[in-house]
Amino acid sequence: MAAYTSTHNVCLVYDDVVCESNPTRLLKLYYQATFMKDLLSLKRFQFTFCLCNRDDYVIDWELTWFTLNFSLVYDASFRAHYASRHYTFKFKLFLDELPLLEKLKITRPDLYIDLLTCRLCHDRKEDLIHLILCTKCHTGIHQILQTYQNHLFSKLREAEKLADMDPTPMLRKLSSLSCWTISSSNWSSYALIQGCLPKAFIDLFVDLSIPRQSAMKVVAAIYNNFVQKLRTRIWNSRTYDKCKWKNVMNFTLKLKTTLRPSNLPATSYVPFSSLPPLTHLVTSRDSGTDWIKNSMI
């Protein structure tokens, strides 16, 4: 790295902070920071600001991006075709772009009327939060979340054996994290499922002298296993039920692929309506120069 940066004889300093001696890297970092700012300013990511002051759930963005880009190894039993479906599902889950009814009502209000509720419980409007909280999915999600936790437990035990330490405090710390309890007011469980992963997972391994890079691989593999189960056990069965309903309603592919009529009325649905107001948090980050400065430190 020293040899790489020493080829540039400039050193950019902003407000006494040495930014980067390599202008190419500096520009790359700057654009990454602005893209990140744009992403987090989307309404669907405002829940992340609710997690900032939590002791037990601080999002580790490096781990989050690493896990999103992490590919499952495929072989004869897990073909490339399934791997690509898995990858697509994982990104749609992260970006809250799964074709849930509340999304479809926005894109095709001519086909999905505003009154439509979740096809499983027939009780609530179906968005990502509801998919996690739906009474018909709750047991299944709880089970796969338990498996997620068990996988982390077993990997921590292995690391503790290597480090020759008592595993009890680490395991207690992991199981006490708020993210394992799903509820409508618990944004850490939402973040965990959606893919914004916590720093605490990595810290537990690093405390046991496991290198950060190895810990990220372990956590990424465990999260990807969870997503695979979420897709096959929860999402696919939900989609199967929805398809049965669509057949009853005579929804054909031809109908779905026809052009959306223009001048459709706007939907009354307000996404993330249960989120607390975040104006004070958002305005405190409005200063562009502070953001750029902070992202460089």
Residues that bind Zn ion (CB under 5 A): 118, 120-121, 134
CB of residue 131 to Zn ion, shortest distance in Å: 8
Closest to Zn ion by CB, 120 vs 200, is 120
CB of residue 82 to Zn ion, shortest distance in Å: 27
Residues 6 or more apart in contact with residue 54 via CB below 8 angstroms: 178, 188
- Closest by CA position to 271, among listed 95, 102, 90: 102
Output phi, psi for 130, to 5 deg: -65, -40
CB of residue 100 to Zn ion, shortest distance in Å: 10
- What gap in Å lies between CA 34 and CA 22, rounded to an integer? 19
CB of residue 121 to Zn ion, shortest distance in Å: 3
Closest to Zn ion by CB, 139 vs 168, is 139
- Closest by CA position to 271, among listed 73, 105, 70, 147: 105
Closest to Zn ion by CB, 21 vs 237, is 237
- What gap in Å lies between CA 124 and CA 126, rounded to an integer? 6
What token pair was written down for 135? 């009474």
- What gap in Å lies between CA 252 and CA 235, rounded to an integer? 21
Closest to Zn ion by CB, 125 vs 155, is 125
Closest to Zn ion by CB, 239 vs 295, is 239
CB of residue 99 to Zn ion, shortest distance in Å: 15
